[in-house]
Structure 1
Amino acid sequence: MSESAIQEVIRQQVGENPIILYMKGTPEQPMCGFSQRAAQALAACGREFAYVDVLQDDEVREGVKAFGDWPTIPQLYIDGELTGGSDIIMEMFDTGELQRLIDGAGGGEGTSG
């Protein structure tokens, strides 16, 4: 697949999912500690989220780094915006900011509270 086609796939994934995590592995079986912490923080916020296991496709793995101009995985997108990687996700989780973003994602449907 061409780089522009990969970018279009990622753009579509980010656009169709209010909350999407690009990670190594799955939330149930993360393949690195950073992805594990990010997925656990999202799960603790109480909303379903989409994820993409970048280990399944090297083109997506490299393409998402270019897409968000962010060099590492995991990467969290909320409402089409790159929120950040593992350290930022954990910092936002600790301050409650992640919960607020998650609650408002996609117009706020499906919030718990």
Structure 2
Amino acid sequence: MSNAHETIDNAVKSNDVMLFMKGTPNFPQCGFSGQVVQILDYLGVEYGSMNVLEDAEIRNGIKEYSNWPTIPQLYVKGEFVGGCDIVREMFQAGELQEHLTSAGIPTRDTAA
């Protein structure tokens, strides 16, 4: 098992919500990563993040880890949820909120 795989596996397992992204939550370096950050911030979810641009091994490793070709990638309780399009569609349908809540992750009450 490569170090990148171990690093990814550890991050996924040690954070209830984990986002692999380009850039950081305060400074996303791609629009898709930025959209996922906005959704998570809107829901008030605490999450870990890893900037794949800082490490080519992580950037390539995460694609193998999830068998998913694009970044960002969102994990909840160790389970791959999806990339930007899936997260956005789930959010718009209210499914992301339900998924997080059913996983025991508190979200801000957005039904105002």
Q: Which amino acid aligns with 1:58?
A: A
Identity of aligned residues (%): 47
Shift of 1:112: 3.8
1:68-87 deviation digits (Å, cap 9, x = unpaired): 00000000000111100000
Secondary structure of 2:74's aligned partner: strand
Range 95-104 or range 73-82, more displaced = 95-104
Equivalent residue for 2:61? 63
Equivalent residue for 1:76? 74
- Structural mapping, 1:29-48, within 5 Å: 29-48=27-46
Q: Which amino acid aligns with 1:72?
A: T
Structure 2, gaps ≥5 residues long: none
The aligned length equals: 109
In the superposition, the TM-score normalised over structure 1's length comes to 0.89
1:79-106 deviation digits (Å, cap 9, x = unpaired): 111100000010001011111222333x
Shift of 1:42: 1.0
In the superposition, the TM-score normalised over structure 2's length comes to 0.90
